[in-house]
């Protein structure tokens, strides 16, 4: 291994993030706030500008709410570079893929990163919620350096990261990723085997789908389903509000992945969820899902 990189020793300093949407922007923000040189790659220059605006807005919210001082926010933004070219990730020590939850798209990204990222011992991680890590690792010639780093939304606030290992992931790669998540980013890490949904979504998605079926059948309104779980079970957010926050397209994609792997009926996306996705009613990000939102 190159003396300048020393990835295994926990000295990851140069991070790449592929995808600057809600999750990718959040991952990039926490990396920059941790003092890391961070490059965010989007599909093109226009999307890269949108990603920068997304991170800048999140940092500004943190300042307004007293969670971050102005100088640290400005320093974090200064550590970020936004690009429309994967080639700009060539010198990265760790890359987190946070693209759309589509197996073909993610596989293509990993195949490209395998050719672009120069250090053979760099860690290539995916933020997928449900797609098998093995499938992505096998798109590369370095499956031992591929694993899942699954963050939760909103990334700057949520303290958990799931570390997901495939049958090929090396112990050295796991140590590097765990040190990155805990010592560098200050997150709590839990480990999961490479099964669709991992720990959290394998438990969460059937619950969300049950709530959707309840509303779909007319058994209870969306407002009453959410109020029941918030006030009756002390959940901070009802299941349909949570589905809207996650994004109904993402919920449907995870459900399809879970059902495809396990063939359990409770994992199958309900027809109402599928129709809402087809209609573009995706929750908070579009202004309407099971509830309506002010997009401003």
* Dist. CA 65–CA 189, nearest whole Å: 26
Here the tokens at position 252 are 């449907």
Q: So what's the pLDDT on residue 75?
A: 97
* Dist. CA 265–CA 78, nearest whole Å: 48
* Dist. CA 156–CA 161, nearest whole Å: 12
Could you tell me what percent of the chain has a pLDDT over 70? 96
pLDDT tens sequence across 19-40 = 999 999 999 999 999 999 999 9
| CATH numbers and ranges of domains, the chain | 7-193 (3.40.50.720), 201-286 (1.10.1040.10)
Here the tokens at position 175 are 């140590």
Residue 186's closest CA among 167, 161, 203, 164?
A: 161
Residue reference for tokens 């490059």: 39
DSSP state of 291: S
Question: If you count them, how many residues does the chain have?
Answer: 296
What is the band of 9 on the pLDDT scale with cuts at 50, 70, 90? Answer: very low
pLDDT tens sequence across 124-182 = 999 998 899 999 999 999 999 999 999 998 999 999 999 999 999 999 999 999 999 99
Q: So what's the pLDDT on residue 11?
A: 82
- Catalytic site positions: 129, 150, 162, 201
pLDDT tens sequence across 226-235 = 999 999 999 9
Q: What's the per-residue H, E or C state across 115-163?
A: HHCCCCCCEEEECCCCCCHHHHHCCCCCHHHEEEEEECCCCCCCCEEEE
38 strand-pairing partners: 15, 80
Residue 150's closest CA among 123, 107, 190, 179?
A: 190
pTM: 0.88
Q: So what's the pLDDT on residue 296?
A: 55
- HSE, side-chain direction, 13 A CA sphere, residue 122: 26
What is the band of 54 on the pLDDT scale with cuts at 50, 70, 90? Answer: very high
pLDDT tens sequence across 94-124 = 999 999 989 999 999 999 999 999 999 999 9
Q: So what's the pLDDT on residue 163?
A: 98
């Amino acid at each position: 291994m190159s003396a300048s990189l020393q990835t295994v020793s926990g000295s990851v300093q140069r991070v790449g993030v592929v995808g600057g949407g809600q999750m990718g922007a959040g991952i990039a923000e926490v990396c920059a706030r941790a003092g890391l040189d961070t490059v965010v790659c989007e599909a093109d220059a226009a999307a890269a500008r949108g990603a920068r605006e997304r991170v800048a807005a999140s940092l500004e919210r943190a300042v307004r709410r007293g969670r971050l001082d102005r100088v640290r926010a400005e320093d974090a933004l200064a550590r970020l570079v936004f690009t429309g070219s994967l080639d700009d990730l060539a010198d990265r020590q760790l890359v987190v893929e946070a693209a759309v939850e589509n197996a073909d798209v993610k596989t293509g990204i990993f195949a490209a990163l395998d050719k672009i990222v120069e250090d053979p011992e760099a860690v290539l991680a995916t933020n997928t919620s449900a797609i098998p890590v093995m499938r992505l690792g096998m798109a590369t010639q370095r499956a031992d350096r591929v694993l899942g780093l699954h963050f939760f939304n909103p990334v700057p606030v949520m303290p958990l990261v799931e570390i997901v290992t495939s049958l090929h992931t090396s112990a050295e790669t796991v140590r590097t990723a765990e040190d990155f998540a805990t010592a560098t980013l200050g997150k709590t890490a839990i480990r999961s085997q490479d099964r669709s949904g991992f720990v959290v979504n394998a438990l969460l998605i059937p619950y969300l789908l049950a709530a959707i079926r309840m509303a779909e059948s007319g058994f209870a309104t969306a407002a009453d389903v959410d109020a029941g779980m918030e006030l009756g079970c002390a959940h901070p957010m009802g299941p349909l509000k949570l589905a809207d926050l996650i994004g109904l397209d993402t919920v449907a994609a995870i459900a399809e992945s879970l059902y495809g792997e396990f063939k359990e009926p409770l994992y199958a996306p309900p027809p109402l969820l599928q129709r809402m996705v087809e209609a573009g009613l995706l929750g908070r990000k579009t202004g309407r899902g099971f509830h309506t939102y002010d997009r401003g």
